[in-house]
Amino acid sequence: MLEHGFRRSAALVTVAALAATNVALGAVLARGRPEGVALAVLPVTLIAIGSLIASNRAILVFAAIAINLFSPIPLTGALPLHGGIQIYPSDLLVLLAVASWGAAWLLNPKEERPSVLGTRLLGWPLLLFGATLVIAIVRGHERYGEKLLSVPLRFLIYAGIAAAVTDLKPRDAYRWLVGLFYAGTLWQTGVAIYGYATGTSATSAVVLSTGGERVLAGSTAIFMAGALLLALLNVEHDRSAGRTTLHLAMAGLATFALVSTFQRTTFAALGILVPLFLLAFRRIGLRTAALVPLVAPVLVLAALLVPRADPTLFPTFADRITASPSTDTSAQWRQKAVSAVWTQVRESPVTGVGFGRNATFEIDGVRTTITQDPHNQFIYLWAGGGLLLLGSFILLLLVYLIESARRFRRGTSEERRFIFWAVSVWFVFLVNSATGPTITSPSLLLTFWVFMVLPMTVRPGDGAAARATWRRDV
C-alpha cells in the first residue's frame, strides 16, 4: 500500500513538472522569443528518452559504445555549457543508468525490482581503488586547484554504468552487439572510402609521425578490432554458408577500416589475439579456408583497386609498422613525456603528488608543457596517487580477470565465446592505454568500463536455461 502511494505521488510530481514546463513554454511563446522552440521540443524529448530507458536500461550501454563507434559524429566532446563546467555525454549516460536503476527500485513492487550484479569486482576492490583515488584528487585540488569533478574521478563514477546491465542477458547483449558493431563497421568503411576519395581525414591528428596521413581516428582502431574479432567468432558459430559469407565480409571491411587508422598498438594487440582465437576456436580457420575460393575474386579485385584509389596506402602502412623508434617523432615525444612525468613519480612514489600537476620537457629545442598524462595511463595513475593508487587499479584489473575466468569455466559454450570476446576487446583497450590517451578520454573510459561489466552479466549457474535459448535467438 505504501509503495503504491509512493508511485502515485511520483506520478503526480511528474505530471506537475510537465505542466510547469508547458506553462513556461506558453509564457515564452507569448513573448515571441525563439527559445520557445527548444522548450517545445524538450518535454517530448525527455518523455521519449525516459520511456526508452525505462523499458530497457541496457540501451545506455549500447549508446556508450555507439558514441565512439560512429565517430566522427561529435558526441564525445564536452557539452557547450557556461561557467567553465565540463559535462560530457558519457557523464549523462552514467547518470541516467544510476537514476533509472534507482527509480525502478523505488517505484516497482518488490518482486519487480531490478537486480544487482553479483560480482566482487564492484565490491571491496572498487572501494579500495575509490578511496585511494579520492585522496589523490583532493591532494591535487588543494595543491594545484584541480577540479574535483575531473577525469580522475570519472575512473570511479563510471563504474555506475553497471546499473544499466543488471538485468541484461548475455544472449541479448550478444545479439545487440553484433548488430551495433556491424553497423559501425559499415559506417567507418564509408567514412574511410570518403576520406580516400576526397583526401580528407576523420580526425584532427592527421599527420603520422612515420610519414603519410591518417584517414580514420586512432581510437576507431579499438572498435574495428572488436568488430573483426566478433566477426571471427560468428564464423565459428554460424552454420549457414550465406551468413558465414556475411561474417567474413564484415571481417574484411573491419580490417580495411582498421588499416586506415594506422594504429600500431592495436595491430600489435591483434597480433596476439587473432592467433589465440584461431587456437581456441578451431572452426574459424577451417570454415574460412573452405570459403576462400568463393571470396578470392573479391579479394583480388580489392587488391587491384585500392592502390589505384590511394597509391600511398600500402607504403604508408609498411612504413608505419617498420619504423625505427630513433626516427619516429611520436615515439620520441612519448619517451620525453614519460620521463618528465616520471620525475613526479620519483618525488612521491608511494602516495603520489596529486592530480592536476603539469610536466615540462624540451624536444628539438622547443619547450613543451603537458598535462599529467604522458600517453601512458599507468604512469598517470602512479604520478597522481602513487603505488597505492596504481596497485589498487591493478588489483581491480586482476579481480576482473578472475571473475571473468570463473564465469568462463561455468558458462555454456556460447557464454564462453561472449566472455572471450569481451575480455579481448578489454585487452585492446588496456594495451592502447599504455601508448595513448585512451582511458583518460571520458567517452573511451566509459566504454572501457562497459567491457569491465559485460562479462559479469553471465551468472554462474544459469547455464542450463541459457543453453536452451541461445541457439534459437542468436
Beta partners for residue 213, in sequence order: 207
Domain-located, residue 73: no
Instruction: Check whether 158 has a pLDDT greater than 90.
Output: yes
Helix runs in 56-169, H state only: 59-69, 89-107, 124-144, 151-157
Read off the pLDDT of each residue in 31-45 and give the average, rounded to a whole number. 46
The grid coordinates of residue 241 equal 554458408
Q: What is the mean pLDDT of the chain?
A: 82
Q: Which range is least confidently modeled, 65-74, 209-218, 269-278, 286-295?
A: 286-295
Q: What pLDDT digit, counting tens, does each position of 248-259 carry?
A: 889 989 999 999
Give strand ranges (E) for 4-106.
Answer: none
Domain presence at residue 412 = no
CA 283-222-120 angle, to 5 degrees, is 85
pLDDT greater than 90 at residue 149 = no
In a domain, 78, yes or no: no
pTM of the shown model: 0.84
Residue 262 placed within a domain: yes
Domain end point (choices 55, 73, 96): 55
The pLDDT, as a whole number, for residue 317 is: 75
Express each pLDDT in 169-192 by its tens digit. Answer: 999 999 999 999 999 999 999 999
Angle at 93 between CA 5 and CA 96, to 5 degrees: 5
Do 34 and 177 belong to one domain?
A: no
Q: State the Cα–Cα distance between residues 471 and 426, nearest whole angstrom.
A: 25
Closest CA to 232 of 265, 184, 270, 189: 270
Instruction: Provide the domain count of the chain.
Output: 2
> Does residue 98 sit within a domain?
no
Give the residue numbers spanning the domain of 28.
1-55
Amino acid letter, residue 53: I
Shortest CA distance to 96 belongs to which of 134, 62, 73? Answer: 62
Out of 283, 306, 323, a domain closes at 323
Instruction: For residues 45 and 181, state if they share a domain.
Output: no
Per-residue pLDDT reduced to its tens digit, 80-94? 766 667 888 999 999
Helices (H), 158-310: 170-198, 220-237, 241-261, 264-280, 282-309
| Residue ending a domain, choose from 323, 342, 373 | 323
Q: Return the axis-axis angle of helices 35-55 and 89-107, rounded to nearest 10°.
A: 60
Same domain (yes/no): 46, 175 = no
On whether residue 439 sits in a domain, the answer given is: no
Alpha-carbon distances, residue 213 vs 61, 195, 200 (angstroms): 32, 11, 9
Confidence class of residue 50 from pLDDT cuts 50, 70 and 90?
low
Which cell numbers hold the place of 184?
Answer: 559501425
Strands (E) in 329-445, as ranges, are 359-363, 366-370
